[in-house]
């Protein structure tokens, strides 16, 4: 997680490659904050990795 002042959001947002986007993300404690998202079309048919607890834990798994 990164902290970014609101005035610093313009440049990174303008430089985001597709399919990344900025939107509201709900954290495990129920709060909602701005965060990085992926456009829905980019995840069509993709595997849900929620059970792993995040991308780092998923990529650490041995491939079958």
Specify the pLDDT at position 62: 87
Cα end-to-end span (Å), the chain: 30
Specify the pLDDT at position 14: 80
With a cut of 70, say whether residue 59 has pLDDT above it: yes
Query: 23 near 31, Cβ under 8 Å?
Result: no
Specify the pLDDT at position 54: 85
Q: What is the mean pLDDT of residues 16-37?
A: 90
Please tell me the distance from the alpha carbon of residue 40 to that of residue 36, in angstroms, as a whole number: 13
With a cut of 80, say whether residue 3 has pLDDT above it: no
2 versus 45: which is more confidently predicted?
45
């Amino acid at each position: 997680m990164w902290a970014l002042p609101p005035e610093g959001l313009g440049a990174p947002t303008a430089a985001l490659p597709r399919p990344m986007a900025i939107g509201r993300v709900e954290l495990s404690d129920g709060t909602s904050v701005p965060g990085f998202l992926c456009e829905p079309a980019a995840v069509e048919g993709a595997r849900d990795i929620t059970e792993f607890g995040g991308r780092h834990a998923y990529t650490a798994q041995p491939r079958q």
